Structure 1
């Protein structure tokens, strides 16, 4: 259970962070 929860949590956080960065870059570029 622990091994599955950690990667999912990290992956979710990375998706949110990357999504925010990509959105910010698109807004600045556009």
Structure 2
């Protein structure tokens, strides 16, 4: 699972293939 925390502090668990945001704007934490 990959937990996504964006610059606004929103957290969501998403499929890496479904990332539609600029990756440089996200902190990607692998768990």
Tell me the TM-score normalised to structure 1 length. 0.16
User: Which structure: larger Rg?
Assistant: 1
More helix, by proportion: 1
More strand, by proportion: 2
